[in-house]
Amino acid sequence: MKNIETLLNKYFEGETTCEEERELCHFFTEGFVPDHLQVYRPMFSYFETEHTEFSEAVETFPLRKKPKTLRKYITYSSGIAVVLLLLLGITGTFRELAPSPENYVVIDGKRYTNAAFVREQAVAAFREVSLSEEDVFNTLFEDEE
Protein backbone atom coordinates (compact mmCIF):
# COMPACT_ATOMS: atom_id res chain seq x y z
CA MET A 1 0.00 0.00 0.00
CA LYS A 2 2.84 2.33 0.81
CA ASN A 3 4.23 1.63 -2.66
CA ILE A 4 0.99 2.79 -4.35
CA GLU A 5 0.88 5.99 -2.33
CA THR A 6 4.52 6.70 -3.23
CA LEU A 7 3.70 6.07 -6.90
CA LEU A 8 0.71 8.42 -6.65
CA ASN A 9 2.91 11.18 -5.22
CA LYS A 10 5.45 10.63 -8.01
CA TYR A 11 2.61 10.61 -10.56
CA PHE A 12 1.24 13.96 -9.45
CA GLU A 13 4.77 15.41 -9.45
CA GLY A 14 5.20 14.17 -13.04
CA GLU A 15 8.14 11.90 -12.21
CA THR A 16 6.70 8.44 -13.00
CA THR A 17 7.80 6.21 -15.83
CA CYS A 18 5.42 4.52 -18.25
CA GLU A 19 5.78 1.25 -16.41
CA GLU A 20 4.88 2.89 -13.09
CA GLU A 21 1.84 4.54 -14.64
CA ARG A 22 0.70 1.18 -16.03
CA GLU A 23 1.06 -0.27 -12.55
CA LEU A 24 -1.14 2.51 -11.13
CA CYS A 25 -3.79 1.97 -13.82
CA HIS A 26 -3.75 -1.77 -13.18
CA PHE A 27 -4.08 -1.26 -9.42
CA PHE A 28 -7.05 1.08 -9.71
CA THR A 29 -8.92 -0.93 -12.36
CA GLU A 30 -8.23 -4.55 -11.35
CA GLY A 31 -7.70 -4.89 -7.63
CA PHE A 32 -9.15 -3.89 -4.30
CA VAL A 33 -8.80 -0.15 -3.69
CA PRO A 34 -8.81 1.16 -0.10
CA ASP A 35 -11.41 3.77 0.83
CA HIS A 36 -8.97 6.67 1.14
CA LEU A 37 -7.75 6.03 -2.46
CA GLN A 38 -11.20 5.61 -4.03
CA VAL A 39 -11.16 9.23 -5.29
CA TYR A 40 -8.42 8.30 -7.79
CA ARG A 41 -10.20 5.23 -9.14
CA PRO A 42 -12.42 7.02 -11.75
CA MET A 43 -9.42 8.94 -13.12
CA PHE A 44 -7.27 5.85 -13.67
CA SER A 45 -10.16 3.76 -14.94
CA TYR A 46 -10.89 6.53 -17.45
CA PHE A 47 -7.27 6.47 -18.60
CA GLU A 48 -7.43 2.69 -18.97
CA THR A 49 -10.65 2.71 -21.01
CA GLU A 50 -9.35 5.50 -23.23
CA HIS A 51 -6.14 3.58 -23.81
CA THR A 52 -7.96 0.36 -24.74
CA GLU A 53 -10.47 2.17 -26.98
CA PHE A 54 -7.64 3.97 -28.73
CA SER A 55 -5.69 0.73 -29.19
CA GLU A 56 -8.75 -1.00 -30.65
CA ALA A 57 -9.44 1.92 -32.97
CA VAL A 58 -5.88 1.93 -34.23
CA GLU A 59 -6.03 -1.81 -34.90
CA THR A 60 -9.28 -1.55 -36.90
CA PHE A 61 -8.20 1.28 -39.21
CA PRO A 62 -6.18 0.21 -42.22
CA LEU A 63 -2.89 1.93 -42.81
CA ARG A 64 -3.14 4.53 -45.53
CA LYS A 65 -0.52 6.20 -47.59
CA LYS A 66 0.08 9.77 -46.63
CA PRO A 67 -1.30 12.23 -49.18
CA LYS A 68 1.05 14.64 -50.86
CA THR A 69 1.66 17.59 -48.69
CA LEU A 70 1.32 21.18 -49.72
CA ARG A 71 5.08 21.59 -49.48
CA LYS A 72 5.69 18.89 -52.11
CA TYR A 73 3.08 20.45 -54.41
CA ILE A 74 4.67 23.88 -54.10
CA THR A 75 8.14 22.41 -54.70
CA TYR A 76 7.10 20.57 -57.86
CA SER A 77 5.08 23.45 -59.28
CA SER A 78 7.84 25.99 -58.62
CA GLY A 79 10.35 23.69 -60.33
CA ILE A 80 8.15 23.47 -63.38
CA ALA A 81 7.69 27.25 -63.41
CA VAL A 82 11.46 27.79 -63.24
CA VAL A 83 12.06 25.44 -66.17
CA LEU A 84 9.41 27.20 -68.27
CA LEU A 85 10.85 30.63 -67.48
CA LEU A 86 14.34 29.44 -68.41
CA LEU A 87 13.08 28.08 -71.73
CA LEU A 88 11.28 31.33 -72.51
CA GLY A 89 14.37 33.35 -71.58
CA ILE A 90 16.69 31.23 -73.71
CA THR A 91 14.30 31.39 -76.67
CA GLY A 92 14.00 35.17 -76.38
CA THR A 93 17.77 35.55 -76.14
CA PHE A 94 18.35 33.50 -79.28
CA ARG A 95 15.70 35.47 -81.11
CA GLU A 96 17.45 38.73 -80.20
CA LEU A 97 20.88 37.39 -81.17
CA ALA A 98 19.74 35.98 -84.52
CA PRO A 99 20.88 38.19 -87.41
CA SER A 100 18.04 40.01 -89.05
CA PRO A 101 18.19 42.63 -91.79
CA GLU A 102 17.59 46.23 -90.85
CA ASN A 103 15.13 47.00 -93.64
CA TYR A 104 12.26 44.88 -94.84
CA VAL A 105 8.87 45.24 -96.48
CA VAL A 106 5.73 43.21 -95.92
CA ILE A 107 3.80 42.54 -99.12
CA ASP A 108 0.67 40.37 -98.92
CA GLY A 109 1.68 39.10 -95.49
CA LYS A 110 5.20 38.04 -96.52
CA ARG A 111 8.44 39.67 -95.44
CA TYR A 112 10.87 40.73 -98.21
CA THR A 113 14.41 42.07 -97.78
CA ASN A 114 15.65 42.05 -101.38
CA ALA A 115 15.87 45.72 -102.39
CA ALA A 116 15.64 45.07 -106.15
CA PHE A 117 12.48 42.97 -105.77
CA VAL A 118 10.91 45.57 -103.49
CA ARG A 119 11.69 48.38 -105.97
CA GLU A 120 10.20 46.34 -108.82
CA GLN A 121 7.00 45.70 -106.83
CA ALA A 122 6.71 49.39 -105.92
CA VAL A 123 7.06 50.55 -109.52
CA ALA A 124 4.42 48.01 -110.63
CA ALA A 125 2.06 49.24 -107.92
CA PHE A 126 2.58 52.88 -108.97
CA ARG A 127 1.85 52.01 -112.61
CA GLU A 128 -1.44 50.39 -111.59
CA VAL A 129 -2.64 53.44 -109.73
CA SER A 130 -1.15 56.18 -111.89
CA LEU A 131 -3.26 58.20 -114.31
CA SER A 132 -2.27 59.47 -117.68
CA GLU A 133 -2.14 63.20 -118.39
CA GLU A 134 -5.41 63.03 -120.27
CA ASP A 135 -7.12 61.27 -117.29
CA VAL A 136 -5.80 63.93 -114.93
CA PHE A 137 -6.96 66.74 -117.25
CA ASN A 138 -10.44 65.24 -117.67
CA THR A 139 -10.79 64.73 -113.94
CA LEU A 140 -9.75 68.28 -113.10
CA PHE A 141 -11.69 70.21 -115.71
CA GLU A 142 -14.78 68.11 -116.40
CA ASP A 143 -16.75 69.54 -113.54
CA GLU A 144 -16.40 73.15 -114.75
CA GLU A 145 -18.28 72.70 -118.06
pLDDT in tens, 37-51: 777 777 766 666 555
* pLDDT for residue 81: 94
Whether residues 47 and 77 share a domain: the answer is: no
Whether residues 46 and 86 share a domain: the answer is: no
Whether the Cβ atoms of residue 14 and residue 1 lie closer than 8 Å to each other? no
* 93 pLDDT more than 70: yes
Whether residues 12 and 54 share a domain: the answer is: yes
pLDDT in tens, 119-144: 888 888 888 777 777 777 777 777 55
* pLDDT for residue 82: 94
Mapped onto helix, strand or coil, the DSSP state of residue 128 is: helix
Whether the Cβ atoms of residue 25 and residue 44 lie closer than 8 Å to each other? yes
114 sits in which H/E element: none
115: domain range? 105-141
Whether residues 9 and 36 share a domain: the answer is: yes
Q: Which residues pair with 110 in a beta bridge?
A: 107
Whether residues 84 and 120 share a domain: the answer is: no
Whether residues 27 and 54 share a domain: the answer is: yes
Whether residues 86 and 120 share a domain: the answer is: no
Whether residues 43 and 7 share a domain: the answer is: yes
CA-based max dimension of the chain? 140
